[in-house]
A and B are shown apart, each in its own frame.
Chain A
Amino acid sequence: MTLVKTLFASSALATLASGVAMADPALIYDLGGKFDKSFNEAAYNGAKRWTEETGGSYKELEMQSEAQREQALRRLAETGANPIVMTGFAFSDVLTKIAPDYPDTKFAIIDMVVDQPNVQSVVFTEEQGSYLAGVMAGVKSETDVVGFIGGMDIPLIHKFECGYAQGFKSIKPEGKVLINYTGTTPAAWNDPVKGSELAKAQKSQGADVIYAAAGGTGIGVLQAAADEGILSVGVDSNQNHLHPGQVLTSMVKRVDNAVYDAFLAGTDLEPGVKVMDLAAGGVGVAIDDNNQALITPDVQAALDDAAAKIQSGEIEVHDYMADSSCPVQ
């Protein structure tokens, strides 16, 4: 009995202590790593902006292996972090399991829908952003062949591929999209050598614009495209600066905004599904000083046209994840 009492008291104390330290939000990066120049880095930038603007502090954690997910999530929840934001679809199973155990903690997951009362699921309409990238590639392509290089072969990346193909076909109905995936394991996100080799293979088949949705592997794709004198399209973060004048654009996913909003909302984070689409500024194509010269008036016109039509609903870009198939090939 005494033992139970002691335990009870200490756990109450722990709760109290964590209550004091509470309200620090937390961010978990997925396997790509914090500075992948892409998806996770965008999340980091959002958190950084929040820190700069509010002066608050947050906890962060980088995943090193698949096995850590549950442990990492529980650890953060135990320490009283609230809300906990995680980047990446891979957290969905773990979060579904853990969320009910911490009803007072708010979670936000990016790129996946988890149906729990204390979880906000942030999803991006990557197909819309990729569609715009496809439109630009379609106008720019002289060979009528463009390439797509995905990282790990998963439905989410097919969503990028499918949107891109639809956009390209809307400009060049007879054109051809070459499609490669780097691999089927998480190592596929970090293999720039293979990325560059895939880009060279696509170039030799006539591709003159290559879209890389492949994390760190994409760095190799962009490099090879620049070496070979063809255009590339970056992804997630703005990657135009990596090879100025040789990256046509970047399909940006404002993961930073999603993280920033979640941090700002704090414990009042609204559960449910939050769709970050083109109209909401969640996705788009990056145009800055580095690629301004490539954006000729015809590209700009096609781009504006497509963007307006998507926002008005005139063009409905098919979402691969809705039925696991793509209307165009």
Chain B
Amino acid sequence: MARFVYADNAATTPVSQAVIDAMAPCFATSWGNPSSLHSKGREAKKILDDARERIARVFRCESGELYFTSCGSESDNWAIKGAALRGRKKGRTHIVTTVIEHPAVLNTCKALEKEGFEVSYIGVDENGVVDMEALAAAITEKTAVVAVMYANNEIGTIQPIREICDLAHAKGALMFTDAVQAVGNVDIDLSALPVDMLAMSGHKIHAPKGIGMLFIRKGVLLTNLIDGGGQEKRHRAGTENLPYIVGLAKAIELAAEQLSDMPRVAKMRDRLIDALTAIPYSRLNGHKTQRLPGNVNVGFECIEGESMLLMLDMKGICASTGSACSSASLEPSHVLLAIGVPHEKAHGSIRLSISHETTEEDIDYIIETLPPIVQRLRDMSPLWEEVVKNNK
């Protein structure tokens, strides 16, 4: 294998050494239960409080507004279900979201539909930007919560969250954003961005899997998702996962430092996009500029994504695809279909998600490796045969 290039950072990231080092003492020495009154417990409580304080500084919010969870999906579930159940008490039985949300949001909304809530799924334009007119029209005095992702996990499109907040608040609805893909890629200032809830996940920013967080603005009341002991101010039970919380805090601090490196990452992204869309019969999926700095999603006609992914893998490149063949459902990506990519073309899409760890040499390697793979698969494709014949 000539080289190993990990270009699937939107799926997960390696835990950074600094994060591992930060967590280690919580396993070895500071293993106490933060709820215990004795010295071991107090030691753990101090570490827990410190971690929360440090995260609050990065996001410019109060530490009391941050709640640790087990993952992004739990945060999504809690925010939406918690807001919906609370809202119902005041006659708000409606939820507004978009068609391109992560399954953790979409399936939470579907579950609430079964409980009698009404959900409006708002469409997006060809670049994946939410239809603001339709969104504005959908939000009413009956709306409990508006849930719109900060940035899309597949195509990287960044949504106008601030404007959406204003629309939600104008009707007295809560505004929730799933920022799992955005944290670490864009600066999130919660003193300026008026969201009511914001979800994030550790493993997308070099912390371990199994740790997430939900920001709940002071004064916003959500029904609990997990009842039990008095942890997290009685709002999220379960003994705190101290090592991972400390790891998350470290990862968030490092991600904040690396934000200054994002223009360089975006430049590499654009170089990759330019090289790949120079291949005939290809297209960029998602917005050209209103886009996560590490996200590249390109569709190639007449070939299928899983084949591309396997061939890239054999060359040491880890990528991802929106093709049906990569899933058990045999349906192509709901996001690509939502931006108007027809089924047959959605199958030929590939996502490369790079990070600050990606080098120019990695980009060179992808640029020299991918086009011959596209050609090889096209040479095998009966659809390409027709394209060639029609062009003769």
A binds B: no
